[in-house]
């Protein structure tokens, strides 16, 4: 496991509310880490350790007031974040087809928890794509702007003729 460098103490400070939340979160996370770690057997491997750690995170998130659904959505957003902030979200026929397959499975009641998570992630990704600036009808907006500008200048010209 790679060790990340601790942030410089001179770096920008946390707000008081963020500082309080993170401190409380870490206290609860430590408690849940100990509890979930105690359930691990002597033959546990790193996959078991990761699972126990994620369970501790989940319990801490629920303790902080998140519902299970909100937590799944949040983890989905993080899992599919992959540079969303710097690039417009991508959406194509294959993703759309997969989302419809998962919706069919949901309607039939045959989705596994992993597929349910995938559906939630794909739905969020689709919404991000639809809401992105890349989908704004700029050509039509520019045409409308020109038309309205022309109408405004024509009305200004006609008022000068009086």
* 130 and 88 housed in the same domain: yes
* 56 and 88 housed in the same domain: no
pTM of the model: 0.50
Residue 140, classed as helix, strand or coil, is: helix
pLDDT for 114-151, tens place per residue?
888 889 888 888 888 888 776 677 777 788 888 888 88
In terms of residue numbers, what domain contains 38?
22-65
CB-CB neighbours of 43 under 10 Å: 6
Residue 149 lies in a domain: no
Q: Which residues contact 77 (CB under 8 A, 6 or more apart)?
A: 121, 124
Helices (H), ranges, 39-137: 46-63, 68-79, 93-108, 113-131
* CA atoms within 13 Å, Cβ hemisphere of 73: 8
pLDDT for 25-63, tens place per residue?
999 999 999 999 999 999 999 999 999 999 999 899 999
Is the distance from CB of 25 to CB of 60 less than 8 angstroms? yes
Residue 43 lies in a domain: yes
């Amino acid at each position: 496991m790679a060790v990340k460098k601790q942030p410089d103490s001179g770096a920008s400070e946390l707000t008081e509310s963020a500082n309080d939340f993170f401190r409380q979160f870490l206290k609860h996370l430590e408690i849940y880490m100990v509890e979930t770690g105690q359930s691990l057997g002597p033959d546990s491997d790193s996959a078991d350790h990761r699972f126990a750690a994620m369970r501790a995170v989940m319990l801490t998130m629920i303790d902080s007031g998140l519902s299970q659904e909100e937590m799944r959505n949040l983890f989905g957003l993080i899992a599919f974040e992959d540079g969303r902030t710097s690039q417009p979200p991508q959406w194509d026929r294959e993703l759309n087809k997969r989302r419809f397959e998962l919706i069919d499975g949901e309607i039939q009641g045959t989705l596994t928890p992993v597929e349910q998570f995938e559906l939630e992630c794909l739905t969020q990704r689709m919404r991000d794509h639809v809401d992105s600036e890349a989908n704004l009808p700029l050509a039509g907006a520019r045409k409308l702007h020109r038309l309205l500008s022309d109408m405004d200048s024509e009305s200004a010209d006609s008022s000068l003729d009086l």
